[in-house]
Amino acid sequence: MADVETLAADTAYKMSQKGELVLIDVRTPSEWAMTGMPRDSVGATLQDTDFVARARGAVLGDLDQPVAVICKSGTRSTSAAQRLAAEGFGHVFNVTEGMAGHLGAGDGWIKRGLPTDPFNPPDR
């Protein structure tokens, strides 16, 4: 199993913009609607039964492609990162400060002023 490394939100953003990793937002659609999603991230809700399949799709099946996971404050992303590592993802990062910040981990994506994309739910 791969080790999970931590990553600051600003570093995750820079790496994702350079194509060095895929950023996966593991929050829920209602959370995405409230705050937007990190710029160019992929949404894959941790609680969904197809979470791992969605993460595999985000990296087009290349489990050696580095991925970073983010949630609101680091709890779900910790679980998500461990799960992806256990499923064979080779380079997994956890943005422990999350979107809203977490004491001791950092201010979070939003307070750092990092860009977000609006969440547009699919037509049903």
Bridge partner residues of 14 (DSSP)? none
pLDDT at res. 113: 96
The answer to whether the beta carbons of residues 44 and 55 sit under 8 Å apart is: yes
The pLDDT of residue 11: 97
pLDDT score of 104: 83
Tokens found for residue 71: 């949630």
Does residue 80 contact residue 51 with C-beta atoms inside 8 Å?
yes
pLDDT of residue 121: 74
Pick the CATH number of 8-114 from 3.20.20.100, 3.40.250.10, 1.10.3720.10, 3.30.390.10: 3.40.250.10
Given a contact cutoff of 8 angstroms between Cβ atoms, the answer to whether 108 and 9 are in contact is yes
β-pairing verdict for 37-38 and 42-43: unpaired
User: What integer pLDDT is reported at residue 106 of this predicted model?
Assistant: 87
Sign of torsion over alpha carbons 74, 80, 45, 109: positive
The predicted pLDDT at position 120 comes to 81
pTM for the model stands at 0.94
From first to last of its 124 residues, the chain has per-residue pLDDT tens of: 668 999 999 999 999 999 999 999 999 999 999 999 999 999 999 999 999 999 999 999 999 999 999 999 999 999 999 999 999 999 999 999 999 998 888 899 999 999 999 988 765 5
